[in-house]
Amino acid sequence: MATDDGAERVGNVKRQLAKLFKTSLRVIVQDEELDVEPLIAPCTGKIGGDYQCSGAIINNLPPSEIVESCSIAEIGSKQPKRVFVNVVLSKSWIAKTIQNMLLDGIETWAPKLSVKKAVLDFSSPNIAKEMHVGHLRSTIIGDALARLLEFSNFGMLIEFLFENYPNLEDVSETAIGDLQAFYKASKQRFDDDADFKVKAQQAVVKLQGGESEYRQAWSKICDISRREFDKVYQRLGVNLEEKGESFYNPYIPRVIKELSKLGLVEESDGARVIFIKGVKIPLIVVKSDGGFNYASTDLAALWYRINEEEAEWVIYVTDVGQQQHFDMLFKAAKRAGWLAADDSKYPKTSHVGFGLVLGQDGKRFRTRSSEVVRLVDLLDEAKSRSKTALIERGKAKEWSEEELEKTAEAVGYGAVKYADLKNNRLTNYTFDFDQMLSDKGNTAVYLLYAYARICSIISKSNKDIEELKRSGVIVLDHAGERELGLHLLQFSEAVEEAVTNLLPNVVCEYLYNLSEIFTKKFYTNCQVVGSAEETSRLLLCKATAIVMKKCFYLLGIEPLNKI
């Protein structure tokens, strides 16, 4: 995904303040070659200011419409004390910046990232196996990261198929039936029949070698699997470009040859491997039977993404259990000269690991019969529970069946996504329908209600918001107005932090805090409709709705104007 540099962007507040303090530092140091970035951070508890800069660089700070005042703060009881500059932002500048966003669009608040093109490897369902809860986190986290970056800038299956359908033209979705049952039957045969196992292993080598009969069988299974996957992706609103393992097969021999010429590939027990310093087990790139494996494909895919797709950043979203595999893969790629030696430079790679989805018993989430939970069943249950809650609130009498269905989907699917994304991805989390569908606390339901409430306030005013954008003026005289305005401006910083550290939960935290500030600090204390400040406050409501809507989009959640 290439970042869009078309729109004029204001840059986040931290970057603009850093620019000011850097100018001040230059006057003191007077060394053009010294490139020091001032450390800027929001003040905790808003004591003494809105932002803080480390070091007492205050005397030579150039005049700016951004800053209302500065003061020196000392922290600590021991000498020497830590010295900071507290910065209070100008109310009029905050107001003007929000008004400009209302006119020019929230894209002007998108962070500026140096990466031009990033490739995300995520979801990765297995052919001929239904998507289950194990695919939930990779799909949801990967989609969120893709949205954030865009906003910023099989052998036994084939052999079993041949045995059951000698004529491949007879193969259809109806003929194969349940993909899971088909997979289990072929796996059982693989485990129980030694001759079948050998034939299956040979089938993999023939498939990778490009034999047409095996390619045709593989395509049949892929097509049927793809239709099943799409049912899940459509419900989750996930869009991706499919490039399965088979896409990279033609590149594997070339990549292995290149790595061999560089002296990276060695013979070991009949296989061809790459030894990684500090790791006892080597990275096997060609098995002893001549077949390829995950490492072969991953190396070919990485080579392709860097050389053919010209990606500067390649990101893999898988569970934390695969950390060592990717660490070895990245080290091999660095030795080959594909990646920059310094991870802060491009091209680079990142492994986005994530924890487990647990059940109420604290163990890996499974059905009562110890089967993995099908993802489509999980989503159906979320929608069903959401619809029941809406009916209990009397919405079946107010809305059409279509409205009820669409709202139940948006709330149910959004609840599942948010419950995952609000956690730091590295931690495990417990899947709990009751908690995630609650309308209280840090849940998607609560946030969707908050958004719908703001839309309702604007609608009940009967004012032309588009006209107010052009003619109205935002004033931040009340403390609640100013706190809301300041938090709105910090949207860009939240997005940049989420992208830089590949942590979608940062956006969740920002969105929840925005909702809390709007409700408890602004709306509770500042009458909107019918007040003397109605125009200004309606514009603040609209700005909040725009930022919340963008946050929902970045998280892959559909906002609702009414619930």
Rounded CA separation 354/134 (Å): 11
Rounded CA separation 155/132 (Å): 22
Rounded CA separation 377/37 (Å): 51
Rounded CA separation 376/382 (Å): 10
pLDDT, position 5: 38
Domains and CATH numbers, the chain: 13-89 (3.30.1360.70), 98-114+376-555 (1.10.730.10)
Q: Which tops the pLDDT comparison, 535 or 28?
A: 535
The model carries a pTM of 0.84
- pLDDT(370) > 70: no
Read off the pLDDT of residues 331-340 as tens digits, 9 standing for 90 and up.
999 999 999 9
- Averaged pLDDT score across all residues of the chain: 86
| Band of pLDDT at residue 113, cut at 50, 70 and 90 | confident
**Mean per-residue pLDDT, 458-481:** 96
Q: Transcribe 456-495 into DSSP letters.
A: HHHHHTT--HHHHHHH------SHHHHHHHHHHHTHHHHH
pLDDT, position 50: 95
Buried b or exposed e, range 166-181, using 16+ CB within 10 angstroms: eeeeebeeeebeebbe
- pLDDT(382) > 70: yes
Q: Which tops the pLDDT comparison, 185 or 243?
A: 243
pLDDT, position 330: 97
**Mean per-residue pLDDT, 432-438:** 96
pLDDT, position 129: 64
- pLDDT(7) > 50: no
Percent of the chain beyond pLDDT 70?
84
Structure tokens at 486: 């300041």
Residues 6+ apart with CB under 8 A from 486: 50, 89, 94
Read off the pLDDT of residues 202-249 as tens digits, 9 standing for 90 and up.
776 676 666 777 767 766 666 766 666 677 777 878 877 778 777 898
pLDDT, position 367: 65
State yes or no: cis peptide before 62, omega within 30 of 0.
Answer: no
- pLDDT(163) > 70: no
Rounded CA separation 60/30 (Å): 12
Percent of the chain beyond pLDDT 90?
61
Q: Which tops the pLDDT comparison, 8 or 113?
A: 113
| Band of pLDDT at residue 390, cut at 50, 70 and 90 | very high
Single out the residue of 298, 342, 154, 127 nearest to residue 226, CA to CA. Answer: 127
| Band of pLDDT at residue 2, cut at 50, 70 and 90 | very low
pLDDT, position 187: 67
**Mean per-residue pLDDT, 414-422:** 97
pLDDT, position 38: 83
Minimum mean pLDDT range among 32-41, 119-128, 307-316, 547-556: 32-41
